Structure 1
Amino acid sequence: MTQASSATVRTRFAPSPTGYLHLGGARTALYSWAYARHHKGTFVLRIEDTDVERSTPEAVQAILDGMAWLGLDADEGPFYQMQRMDRYREVVGQLLASGHAYHCYSSPEEVEAMREKARAAGLKPRYDGTWRPEPGKVLPPVPADRKPVVRFRNPTEGSTGWNDLIKGPIVFSNTELDDLIIARPDGTPTYNFCVVVDDWDMRITHVLRGDDHVNNTPRQINILRALGAPLPQYGHLPMILGPDGQKLSKRHGAVSVMDYDRQGYLPDAMINYLARLGWSHGDDELFGRAEFVEWFDAQNLSRSAAQWDPQKLNWVNAHYMRQLGDDALGQRVAPRIAARGGDLTQASLPAVVALVKDRAETLEQLADAAMLFFGAPEQPGEELLQQHLTEAARQALADFTRQAEALEWSRENISALIKQVLKAHGLKMPQLAIPLRLAVTGRTQTPSIDAVLEIIGKETVLKRLKQF
């Protein structure tokens, strides 16, 4: 890899706003952001919104929301391609004037016929250069009723290659690259052309993107050379596969970054997990943003596809949840409890979090567990009551309730009283603990019953026991 100069590094993330910010895009953004931060450079956000039919304001906002949630702050931008149309037309004119582009009047049907003819001859399907000016060549008459496209005059000899930051040397023969369209009949520029002008104007030095762009790169390099523009260094990231080894898609579950916010994942956990999907620093699995930025460089990016592992993500997220501390974690989970109809005045949220956090891997799981304390008690079914509420259990419950009236309410005192009642009635722990759970919470399984009763509070516990 060519070592970057820390004074010159400029990276970019350039999504098309035709949907949400997906995981592959988020990883590309993360690596581009980290590369710029590592080299104390500049990270540019560019919205490639020239696909007018599919680009929507909602999709733009989804991308911005995803970037903000992940904390991937841009130094410049967002820039919008649709606001740069005059600049693109200016550069098209420049290429036409220099002879590096030309007007092509072939209709889409005629171009398709050229491709079919090439296929039939066992050749690569392509435009045959009918309107490409050559010395001594006589061009066809210009159709009166047809607006031309503008094609880039690609070199026909030699090859175009680059030393990919991830994949190593890649070379394309120029004979494989036909004269691509850079402006449509209505004058609007095409994707590959806009990217070139933007990277040039924004002085992008390093382009990290998905390897589905590998075939675009030689075309973009040739246009940059025709413009006399400097070439960025390119690095193409392998795709992310689902747990089944197929390309990650909706069938594997959530693929939008903000879906993971809704499912209760922390942004720092997602950053840590995404960072490891195609990059490594020795055996380190858990690290903060500062460490990641310090360690990140392109030579440790993998050439092989990464595999999405939901269980690993859950493990990472659980670690970050425990790192937060009970007060901070409580603040994160409070809106989710309220959304479930929970009454946050019923118990101490930090105390609840401290008790149940080790059983949860996401904020959603934590909110579900916390509803034991902030929701109404469940109503146990008759079958459960018959199974666990024996006559001996009833007498022990009545004894516990009577003695609890005078108890100084703490986990230690509740535990001591439970043991005392068990001994007095000759029972084992489950014979009282399960009826207590049913009476107070409506459930047969909870965290340790003495801790649960302490948090629910003496007044509420006695009220529920008496009603039961």
Structure 2
Amino acid sequence: MTTTRFAPSPTGYIHVGNLRTALMNYLIARKAGGTFILRIDDTDPERSKEEYVDAIKQDMEWLGLHWDRVERQSDRLDRYAEAADKLREMGRFYEAFETPTELDLKRKKQLNMGKPPVYDRAALNLSDAEKEALRAERGSGVWRFKLDHERIEWNDGILGDISIDAASVSDPVLIRGDGQVLYTIASVVDDTEMGVTNVVRGSDHVTNTATQIQIIEALGGTCPRFAHHSLLTGPQGEALSKRLGTLALRDLREQGVQPMALLSLMARLGSSDPVELRSEMAELIEGFDVNRFGAAPTKFDVQDLFPLTAKHLQSLPLDDVAEAVADAGVPADLAEPFWAMARENITTLADLKGWWELCRDGAEPLIADEDRDFIAEAMTLLPEGPFDGETWGKWTSTVKEATGRKGKGLFMPLRKALTGMERGPEMATLLPLLQVIRAKA
């Protein structure tokens, strides 16, 4: 069975970069009728917060990315300890004691000599007595996985054939000096024991994948099918990482972005397929193919979400937005005609309030000097209420006959006088909702 996972760290809110990873893994699992696991990567006790765990779940539920089960790495520390013991017994795990300053000096020296800045494995030459002395002086060391210096190769679902020389990579630290288990080994143990078959993540993890493949093999596991998606940039190609705080999913939600608009964009962004607004998740699942994504950095512009949101809202019946319409202050008896008028003229649901204020309170008329007499005469010809969808047409026909005006010279001054705007909804649908005009009539 196909099994995928999304493994966020609860150290902050999910942003669009996280969503890309979550969505790809979700769509792969759902298309195959498999299992999608939400795995909370909370092995860092200081930075992990329960409020972020709750926020991650809320954001995913808002988007409709429903998981089959939740796992927490903090509940599995014994499993990671067993894996570490197994690696020690195999001679693939060793303790190292260099300080960050010492490691930095080593890297600089290697670079000056034209060598790759990888860890030199000096710790492997320490005697037991030297290790004891270093522990007494510095405390426990970090634990590094000893890589086999050979080429690590796999066929990536997005990047194609990958080959990395393990000798060009430092032996990865899997456990810190304070005992904290790091992502590299926790992820391997979890993926193996949970039967994860497909892993999609950012291309910044390619080197991690290479080292994890060796760890998986050392522990006797089966490697998942890996795919590394491109990283997002800003609309001009600029690094997006520093701006991701402003692109948290809850911020986009607050700005009125609709879930299907966001999902439709992220399900295609960076692929060879055009972005198309979908009305339901089943369409996204059916049309998803991870192999159609490319390796090049992918430009993301948050502004692209708003036309998609507007288009999505236009497709919705009143029942789907009834709460938002009521929250805008629209009386229940006017909700249906109000939504029919407003739906074509909003970008987000927050715009509903402004349209109802116009209907309820009217607007400051925009009347050019040369139109004052025309507007005054036209208002005397406005029929008595109640108004309906035919009123605008009948009224303008009467005004045309009385004044001789036609076309833009007829309609535009009337629109500006009634709404204070040059553009907006069809006046035939708006006029019956204008409470001030109804009262005067």
Bin of the TM-score, shorter chain as denominator length: 0.7 to 0.9
Query: Which residue does the alignment assign to 1:44?
Result: 37
Query: Which residue does the alignment assign to 1:297?
Result: 289
- Mark the CA change 1:408 to 1:111 in structure 2 (over 3 Å): closer, same or farther: closer
Query: Which residue does the alignment assign to 2:3?
Result: 10
- Mark the CA change 1:118 to 1:351 in structure 2 (over 3 Å): closer, same or farther: same
Distance 1:268 1:26 in 2: 13
Query: Which residue does the alignment assign to 2:54?
Result: 61
Amino acid at match of 1:461: I
TM-score (structure 2 length as normaliser)? 0.87
Per the TM alignment, residue 101 of structure 1 is displaced from its structure 2 partner at its CA by 0.9
| Runs (4+) off by over 6 Å | 429-432
Per the TM alignment, residue 388 of structure 1 is displaced from its structure 2 partner at its CA by 6.5
Question: Is the Cα contact below 8 Å between 2:16 and 2:244 reproduced in 1?
Answer: no
Are positions 1:452 and 2:430 aligned together? yes
Show the 5 A alignment for 1:83-122: 83-122=75-114
Are positions 1:412 and 2:390 aligned together? yes
Query: Which residue does the alignment assign to 2:338?
Result: 352
Per the TM alignment, residue 367 of structure 1 is displaced from its structure 2 partner at its CA by 4.7
Structure 1 residues 406-461: Cα deviation after superposition (integer angstroms, max 9, x where no partner): x563231443134224423445577776675566555565434343221235xx42
- Mark the CA change 1:178 to 1:428 in structure 2 (over 3 Å): closer, same or farther: closer
Show the 5 A alignment for 1:25-174: 25-77=18-70, 79-132=71-124, 140=130, 142-143=132-133, 144-174=136-166
Distance 2:156 2:272 in 1: 18
Distance 1:171 1:450 in 2: 66
Distance 1:15 1:417 in 2: 61
Show the 5 A alignment for 1:143-292: 143=133, 144-248=136-240, 254-280=246-272, 285-287=276-278, 288-292=280-284
Distance 1:88 1:159 in 2: 26
Distance 1:174 1:427 in 2: 82
Match of 1:23 among 9, 16, 28: 16
Per the TM alignment, residue 95 of structure 1 is displaced from its structure 2 partner at its CA by 1.8
Amino acid at match of 1:330: V
Question: Is the Cα contact below 8 Å between 1:10 and 1:203 reproduced in 2?
Answer: yes
Question: Is the Cα contact below 8 Å between 2:10 and 2:40 reproduced in 1?
Answer: yes
- Mark the CA change 1:315 to 1:400 in structure 2 (over 3 Å): closer, same or farther: same
Amino acid at match of 1:456: L
Amino acid at match of 1:45: L
Per the TM alignment, residue 218 of structure 1 is displaced from its structure 2 partner at its CA by 1.3
Secondary structure of 1:324's aligned partner = coil
Distance 1:150 1:96 in 2: 13
Structure 1 residues 100-120: Cα deviation after superposition (integer angstroms, max 9, x where no partner): 212223333333333333233
Distance 1:449 1:239 in 2: 46
- Mark the CA change 1:393 to 1:278 in structure 2 (over 3 Å): closer, same or farther: closer
Distance 2:340 2:245 in 1: 30
- Mark the CA change 1:305 to 1:117 in structure 2 (over 3 Å): closer, same or farther: closer
Amino acid at match of 2:363: E
Distance 1:294 1:386 in 2: 55
Query: Which residue does the alignment assign to 1:393?
Result: 375
- Mark the CA change 1:253 to 1:194 in structure 2 (over 3 Å): closer, same or farther: closer
Match of 2:437 among 445, 449, 461: 461
Secondary structure of 1:187's aligned partner = coil
Question: Is the Cα contact below 8 Å between 1:440 and 1:464 reproduced in 2?
Answer: no
Secondary structure of 1:390's aligned partner = helix
Query: Which residue does the alignment assign to 2:313?
Result: 321
Secondary structure of 1:140's aligned partner = helix
Distance 2:351 2:242 in 1: 22
Per the TM alignment, residue 215 of structure 1 is displaced from its structure 2 partner at its CA by 1.3
Distance 1:297 1:446 in 2: 40
Question: Is the Cα contact below 8 Å between 2:145 and 2:173 reproduced in 1?
Answer: no
Are positions 1:424 and 2:402 aligned together? yes
Amino acid at match of 1:142: E
Distance 2:405 2:290 in 1: 65
Distance 1:254 1:148 in 2: 39
Distance 1:284 1:391 in 2: 51
- Mark the CA change 1:123 to 1:442 in structure 2 (over 3 Å): closer, same or farther: same
- Mark the CA change 1:122 to 1:284 in structure 2 (over 3 Å): closer, same or farther: closer
Distance 1:141 1:252 in 2: 43
Per the TM alignment, residue 154 of structure 1 is displaced from its structure 2 partner at its CA by 1.9
Question: Is the Cα contact below 8 Å between 2:203 and 2:228 reproduced in 1?
Answer: yes
Show the 5 A alignment for 1:302-313: 302-310=294-302, 312-313=304-305
Secondary structure of 2:11's aligned partner = coil
Per the TM alignment, residue 247 of structure 1 is displaced from its structure 2 partner at its CA by 3.0
Distance 2:86 2:306 in 1: 53
Distance 2:115 2:152 in 1: 20
- Mark the CA change 1:311 to 1:29 in structure 2 (over 3 Å): closer, same or farther: same
- Mark the CA change 1:346 to 1:429 in structure 2 (over 3 Å): closer, same or farther: farther
Q: Which moved more, 1:176-185 or 1:343-352?
A: 343-352
- Mark the CA change 1:307 to 1:371 in structure 2 (over 3 Å): closer, same or farther: farther
Distance 1:25 1:311 in 2: 19
Structure 1 residues 42-85: Cα deviation after superposition (integer angstroms, max 9, x where no partner): 111111123344333333233222211111111121x2222322
Distance 2:99 2:246 in 1: 42
Distance 1:209 1:162 in 2: 15
Match of 1:378 among 353, 363, 369: 363
Identity between Structure 1 and Structure 2 (%): 33
Distance 1:265 1:198 in 2: 34
Structure 1 residues 269-313: Cα deviation after superposition (integer angstroms, max 9, x where no partner): 2211111113355x6834442233233333222232322245653
